[in-house]
Each structure stands twice: as structure tokens, then as C-alpha cells.
Amino acid sequence: MHSLKSSEEITLKAFLMAIAHLDRPLSPELQQSLHHLGSLIATENPQAFEQLDRIANHSPMLKKLYEQT
């Protein structure tokens, strides 16, 4: 099993912390995107972190929290 690079680990932690700090639930569309992201990460798909950025940029509040973290 491949382990995350340190930069990927930092990115993922920042993203998860941003989600944890949201004051309202994500839209069903973004929740579905997160499930897909989890599958990409689990299968070590190189597109996972591109998907993570797309999700973060889709929600202004999530993007702000992600960038602050």
C-alpha cells in the first residue's frame, strides 16, 4: 500500500479541518463529491488531490476555511 506524500498528508488534513469547521452541512452534491474523493484516495488515484481542490473551490466558505488552515 502506498502512503501519502507529506504534502498530500498536509493538504488532506487542512481540507478535513476546514470541513470540520463549517457551520452548516455541505450540499448533497458536495457530499457526493466527498464520497467520490474518498474512493479516489482509497484506490491511490493520482486525480484525488485535483478533485479535492475542485471541491474546496466549489463552496466559498469551504474555500476560505481551507485556505486559512
Tally of domains in the chain: 1
Look up cell 452541512; give the residue: 25
Q: Tell me the average pLDDT across 16-43.
A: 93
On the question of pLDDT at 1 being above 60, the answer is no
- The answer to the question of residue 5 being in a domain is no
Note the pLDDT tens digit of each residue in 43-66: 989 899 999 999 999 889 999 999
More confident residue, 46 or 3: 46
For residue 19, the surrounding DSSP H or E stretch is: helix 6-20
Question: Which pTM was predicted?
Answer: 0.83
On the question of pLDDT at 4 being above 90, the answer is no
Integer CA distances (angstroms), 33 to 5, 9, 37, in order: 22, 19, 6
- The answer to the question of residue 14 being in a domain is no
- The answer to the question of residue 48 being in a domain is yes
- The answer to the question of residue 65 being in a domain is yes
Domain hosting residue 46, numbered range = 25-69
What's the pLDDT at 2? 66
- Write out the three cell numbers for 18: 476546514
- The answer to the question of residue 69 being in a domain is yes
- The answer to the question of residue 58 being in a domain is yes
- The answer to the question of residue 62 being in a domain is yes
